[in-house]
């Protein structure tokens, strides 16, 4: 075989190209037939008439995790930023579970997030690139709640060689005080967001069942939003946390509807929220998209209960090229494309 390739390099090239093209065609046809089979079987079953609230993630928290979650939620609702000390120390996985529920369970906390998990002595546990999932010891005693309205939002952390946050007290105090004008902006965005989401649901015909409701919501997203990375493809240097809030974070949440564009995460959250308001229980699912280790990226799908099964929807349509322009996936096909995060259980029904 090697000798033949050496003697006929051009023929070998075209033969290899032919087989690669054939494999790609077979893969594309398989994806197309699978996606078509899903959408082709969906019917317009009656949907629940009342809005629902998803507790998919909340119900999986332990008592200890739920207590930490409740504390963070209260601080966000009251816009009290700064250092947050947890009732009990958390492992890396416990911390991830708590913060994921805080961000993904349907609340529009576009103005705040938790980061910089630390030990009791103020040592940043991710210093040096540590993976939270590998932190088995329950040593995360506190973290910082960043609010876009905080006076000290532009203060940068100063770290010692061992990861200790040297200006923790100063930063904590500055982040605990808010600017009134910035608080007012948050309230304005919240009002605008609610008006838009309410209008969408008010425009949904009462007689629409599950399939037509899904189509109606996806059509609204396609017609009214455009996909963004938060940087619009440009190389951007953020000078502080305020730039992160305005340049990325607001597009990751329901508030993105006020800006006419959203990230894939923002799309998924908006679609999930609209499904819940339409009486179809839904939540988002994060994971790593891509079968090849050379083409993997973080991604998110919207899970919804339709036709007596859990379906997964590519809300933004960003992966349409790999899904033959379809949006609906059954569970196994979704998992073939995306490895779901491991710190929540997705084996049970919604």
Dist. CA 166–CA 148, nearest whole Å: 22
CA 163, distance to chain mean position in Å, is: 28
pLDDT of residue 46: 93
Asked if residues 175 and 241 have their Cβ atoms less than 8 Å apart, the reply is: no
Reported in sequence order, the residue ranges of the chain that DSSP labels E, i.e. its strands, are: 82-90, 112-118, 140-147, 226-227, 261-262, 282-289, 297-306, 309-313, 328-330, 338-340
pLDDT of residue 19: 56
Residue the block writes with tokens 């369970």:
105
Q: How confident is the model at residue 339 (pLDDT cuts 50, 70, 90)?
A: very high
| 3-state helix, strand and coil shares in percent for the chain, rounded to the nearest 5 | 45, 20, 35
Length of the chain as a residue count: 350
For the chain, the farthest-separated pair of C-alpha atoms sits apart, in whole angstroms, at 77
Residue the block writes with tokens 């050379």:
294
What would the pLDDT profile of 232-262 be if each residue is shown by its tens digit?
444 445 567 888 888 889 999 999 999 999 9
CA 281, distance to chain mean position in Å, is: 17
- Mean predicted confidence (pLDDT) in 22-48: 66
What's the whole-number average pLDDT of the chain? 88
**What angle in degrees, to the nearest 10, is found between the helix axes of 264-277 and 210-224?**
140
What would the pLDDT profile of 92-133 be if each residue is shown by its tens digit?
999 999 999 999 986 899 999 999 999 999 999 999 889 999
């Amino acid at each position: 075989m090697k000798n033949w390739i050496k003697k006929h390099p051009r023929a070998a090239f075209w033969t290899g190209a032919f087989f690669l093209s054939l494999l790609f065609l077979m893969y594309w046809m398989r994806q197309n037939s699978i996606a078509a089979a899903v959408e082709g079987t969906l019917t317009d079953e009656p949907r629940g008439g009342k809005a629902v609230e998803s507790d998919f993630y909340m119900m999986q928290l332990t008592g200890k995790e739920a207590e930490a979650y409740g504390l963070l939620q209260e601080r966000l609702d009251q816009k009290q930023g700064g250092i947050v000390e947890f009732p009990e120390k958390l492992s890396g996985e416990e911390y991830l579970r708590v913060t994921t529920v805080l961000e993904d369970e349907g609340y529009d906390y576009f103005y705040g997030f938790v980061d910089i998990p630390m030990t009791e002595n103020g040592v940043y546990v991710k210093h040096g690139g540590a993976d939270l999932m590998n932190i088995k010891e329950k040593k995360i005693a506190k973290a910082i709640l960043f609010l876009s309205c905080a006076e000290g939002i532009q203060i940068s952390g100063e770290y010692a060689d061992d990861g200790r946050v040297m200006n923790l007290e100063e930063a904590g105090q500055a982040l605990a005080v808010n600017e009134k004008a910035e608080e007012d902006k948050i309230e304005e965005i919240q009002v605008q967001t609610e008006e838009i989401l309410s209008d969408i649901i008010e425009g949904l015909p009462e007689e629409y069942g599950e399939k037509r409701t899904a189509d109606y919501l996806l059509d609204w997203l396609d017609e009214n939003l455009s996909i963004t990375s938060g940087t619009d493809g440009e190389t951007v240097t953020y000078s502080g946390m305020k730039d992160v809030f305005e340049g990325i974070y607001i597009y990751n949440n329901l508030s993105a509807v006020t800006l006419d564009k959203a990230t894939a995460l923002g799309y998924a959250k908006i679609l999930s929220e609209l499904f819940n308001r339409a009486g179809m229980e839904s939540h988002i699912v994060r994971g790593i998209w891509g079968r090849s280790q050379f083409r993997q990226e973080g991604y998110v799908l919207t899970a919804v209960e339709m036709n007596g099964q859990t379906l997964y929807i590519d809300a933004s349509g960003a992966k349409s090229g790999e899904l033959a322009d379809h949006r609906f996936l059954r569970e196994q096909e979704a998992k073939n494309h995306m490895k779901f995060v491991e710190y929540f259980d997705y084996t049970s029904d919604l």
